[in-house]
Amino acid sequence: MRLFFISIAALKKLCCRLLLLAAIIAAAILLIPKGIRYIEVISHRYHPIYAVETDEKAVALTFDISWGSAMAPKVLKILKDHQVPATFFLSGPWVETHADLAGQILADGHEIASHGHKHVNFSPLSKDQIIDNVMSAHNSIKKTLNVEPSLIRTPNGDFDDEAILTIKELGYLAIDWMIDSLDWKNPGVDAIISRVLKRLQPGAIILMHASDSCKMTDAALPVIIKETRSAGYRFVKVSELLTLGPNNTRIR
């Protein structure tokens, strides 16, 4: 059996390097804004926009819709009553099936964005499949609403480098979120409210849903709006939020 020895000096040098590496990793995590999914940001070279780097107390309220027609009118009424602009990420089939409701979202002055066509993760898809998914939704929205969206949120926020680059090639910006309300889990109204309010920070993008599977969004939304404004924040559409950073700087 062969024995290997290491000098005290070499051991000290190795320990110093390990400590330095640990310090770099810790600093990187601390510099990532609260709420960003650390693993995805670190493991991918390209990733969606989660927030905007700004000192202005502005946040973007966003809603995903893929199915149902009961929750969306409730959300629209609350937004109208409180005069809050929002960005709606709509799936192509939903827009075609609920053209009147999609038209009301647009008529109320909200921003129309894409949530893709099929509600499937993008990372396992080939480039051609991603193109088909994005453009099928794009064409459905254009045909139904005469709007050509330029923002997309991939289903489940899933992505990989190829997905982000393909989306960009198609003239889109991929948008995720800094604050997940978890309303899709129906965890309780107070839990939804608390989760959003505790994570507020300038430039944040807030994820909520107006699909029928989310049963508590309409109950939590008025309190979120009221308390967010009480904290000195204003609500803007995602496209406006993107202009607020220095030289349009975005966290990407």
Please give the positions annotated as active site: 64, 209
67: which DSSP letter?
S
Instruction: Give the integer Cα–Cα distance in Å for 10 and 76.
Output: 66
Q: Of 140, 137, 162, which Cα lies nearest the Cα of 152?
A: 137
Residue 185: helix, strand or coil by DSSP? helix
Instruction: Give the integer Cα–Cα distance in Å for 205 and 58.
Output: 9
Q: Which two tokens mark 117?
A: 């066509």
Residue type at 66 in one-letter notation: S
For residue 239, the tally of other CB atoms under 10 A from its CB is: 15
Instruction: Give the integer Cα–Cα distance in Å for 41 and 90.
Output: 25
Question: What are the start-end ranges of the H helices in the chain?
Answer: 8-31, 38-43, 71-82, 92-97, 99-107, 127-145, 161-169, 189-198, 217-230, 238-241
